[in-house]
Chains A and B, each alone.
Chain A
Amino acid sequence: MLRSSIRGRLGRLTVLFAAAFTVLSVAATPRHAPQAPVQITVGGCWGDPIQGGAFIRIAESFNKVQSAIHVTAKRGVGVTQVLAGVSAGNPIDVYYDCSTSDLPQWAANGYAQNLDPYIKASGFNINTIIPSARAFSTYNGHTYSLPLLEDTFMLIYNKKLFDAAGIKSPPKTTEEMIADAKKLTKKDANGHLTQLGWAPTLYGSDYIGTWLSVYMTMFGGKLVDPSGKKITANCKECVQALQWETDFIKWVGPTEMDRFTSNANNQEYSPANLLFTDKLAMVINGEYWTGMINAYARKGFQWGNAPLPYPSNRPDLAGTGVAGGNPGTLMKGSKHPQEAFKFMEYMESVGPTVAFANAIHNVPQLYAALKSPQLDPNPHYRAFVQYAQGPKVTSFPVIPVSANFADDLTRYESLVVHGKMSPQDGLNKVTSDIQQKLDAFQSGI
């Protein structure tokens, strides 16, 4: 009868489906070996194959030197992903961030763990780390990160374009830099750029999202007052810095500059990089460009890296530097914090540090590593390393709303340079917004 045949068919189909999905599901569940070592997951912000690959290689070298802990390293891990894991109670154990503006906020909110007890228990010597790297790893007097390498920023320029424009040496002052940038900017008959001297807002995501705070430091501006309770993003020098880049962008034309650099972000780590293809003459960026140039630029590409310029009326600011870097945090809710810390200690030792520093051409954060004979002798790289150890190196403000601060600076810088508001107005807005958020945090709201 119809009934039973439908029943039979339905029944058989159901069983078939159930079997198929069970098989698929079982096949998808990760298998665990018996008596397995403790599994920890570590994430690195580096996404591209060269840097990300190096991170994975070096992080997982930990598996070769001991067998109690097994590390799985992932590259291209973003901040949102990490926080999502933390709030869901399922974080990765250790994270190496590419920006220094997250750590204070994470520490203040408890997303990253205070490492003091771990350091004390294991006897790790925190003084092997250079002060500039410790500066962005500390909050409220406690250590929240074991940093993995440091960044420093200089003026990187294309020698061929400089020679063609008849510029003998890199600019020393901020005024010279603009003058050179203008000389190096060419447009065709339709007003379209064929060559750009400088793109102030380009590649900001290499640092904290924007270079504005670096420029402010160059001009002697301070984002926060010494007490850490008052935001001073609208200080006179800060506004000067923003005005400086805005004037140049206005001179070029913001729309035209956007158009010219529209694909640049996606091609930074590639042979099509604007600097390598002689389309862009100068960038203010970090020492990792040494590695990028080695990997992607044409043979015989001539370039230089010079100290950051200073305003001509402030020669005392010469040699100012900014330290970026990679804070390494133990995330709250990690299932194996002890083992995770052991891993972090390992990465904080000379061997892995030097290996990684050479692989991605970053500045080592350990005294011993700085002195290591294995460190790459490339003169450009060494110039960066030297610069990073200068006396006037600062880092991004360490306040509980540091991430919001970076975001606001990025957002309002964009509005200002596109002519939507004046630099003073823009920075006033940033100041009042972050001050409010800071006050709210302090009063426990």
Chain B
Amino acid sequence: MQTIRPLGLTRSERHNILVGLAFCAPFLLGFLGFTLYPMAASFYYSFTHFDGLNPPRWIGLNNYNFLFTQDDEFKQALSNTAYMVVAGVPAQLLAAFVTALLLNVKIRGMAIYRSFYLLPAFLPIVPVAYLWQFMFNSENGIVNLALGAVGLPQPGWFIDPNWSKPGLVLLFMWTIGTTTIIYLAALQDVPEHLYEAAELDGAGALRRMWHVTVPMISPATLFNLITIMIATFQLFGIAFVVSNSGSYDVGEPQGSLNFYLLYLWKTAFSYLRFGYASAMAWILFLIIMFFTLILLYGSRRWVYYEGEAR
């Protein structure tokens, strides 16, 4: 018979807890020091004026107040980011889906083709950003030269505020390799017999896609949707390099690439306003949480999990 200890834990249970904690000690310590404490600290900073040099000075809701009522650049950052989410996320999902379909075709040499489609996703952001700038140079870039050769209009791309974000969306569509992989795995999981049954019912290719493929891969769609959306809200690296092209400020041209994190970074590290930037970080956190929850909640309508009753 095992002796019951005061805490309601047997000796072996206590031993196991210690072992468990010991093994994940690195994570727990890291969580306390690099996650929990910083979260509390940044929440505190958001109510202060803090430049990293002098101690933080409490100013109450001033940062938030300024953000919501006075800061034009904040509004610009929000709207730019919203554009990328609304336009960029569906575009990327679609591109990933189409490329996954293409990669699912049964032909020889697929390994080679696969590397073409997937490689861009793993390339470092700095060369990729420079390459894109180079190719989309409004005067001499290969893209505009090719467009001109076939008589199509040649947008200014990264010097034209109306075309800079579309140019960026194209870049992100080019680097959706990881999303494609997830879709590809999901596609390959769709049971054969469903397609056969649909064909028996007289469904053509497109209807089979809509009624079999899309629902069956909807969990992957949900996963991809959330991941890409979160990543888009936190867009920084590529935009930083692309928009900092020798002109004075990041976020050029004319602030069209001034995304949320770019503005946050500028506030923190160019203007040394850590309190203000912390407030922005928390607002972003809430925005992301909000949309993720909405997506998750709404997903019950359209996500189909194998094994659930319809």
Contact = CB atoms under 8 A, between A and B. Distances in A.
A229 to B, nearest CB: 19
A255 to B, nearest CB: 7
A255 B156 contact: yes
Interface in B123-148: 137-140
A88 interface: yes
A269 B148 CA distance: 29
Given A79-B270, A262-B138, A86 B70 contact: no
Interface stretch (A63-71, A380-388, A408-416): A408-416
A109 B247 contact: no
Contacts of A83: 269-270, 272
Contacts of B160: 255, 258
A262 B254 contact: no
Nearest to A445: B59
Name the residue in A88, A210, A263, A436 with the highest tally of chain B Cβ atoms < 10 Å from its Cβ: A263
A315 B52 CA distance: 49
A266 B160 CA distance: 17
Given A259-B159, A262-B137, A84 B255 contact: no
Classify the secondary structure of A's interface with B. Answer: helix
A404 interface: yes
Interface residues of A, number: 37
A29 B62 CA distance: 45
Contacts of A84: 269
B277 to A, nearest CB: 12
Given A83-B269, A209-B249, A404-B271, A263 B52 contact: no
Given A80-B269, A84-B269, A111-B53, A258 B156 contact: yes
13 contacts: A83-B270, A109-B51, A111-B272, A209-B248, A258-B156, A263-B139, A263-B140, A265-B247, A266-B246, A410-B249, A414-B255, A433-B70, A445-B59
Interface in B198-254: 245-249, 253-254
A79 B138 CA distance: 29
Contact of B248 (A110, A205, A404, A415): A205
Q: How large is the interface on B (under 10, 10 to 19, 20 to 34, 35 or more residues)?
A: 20 to 34
Contacts of B72: 429, 433
B54 interface: yes
Given A258-B156, A263-B137, A445 B161 contact: no
B53 A262 contact: no
Contacts of B269: 80, 83-84, 87
B248 A88 contact: no
Interface string A232-264: 000000000000000000000001001100110
Contacts of A414: 253-255
Contacts of A80: 269-270
Nearest to B258: A411
B163 to A, nearest CB: 10
A109 B50 CA distance: 11
Contacts of B49: 445
- Nearest 3 CB-CB pairs, A to B? A87-B52, A265-B246, A209-B248
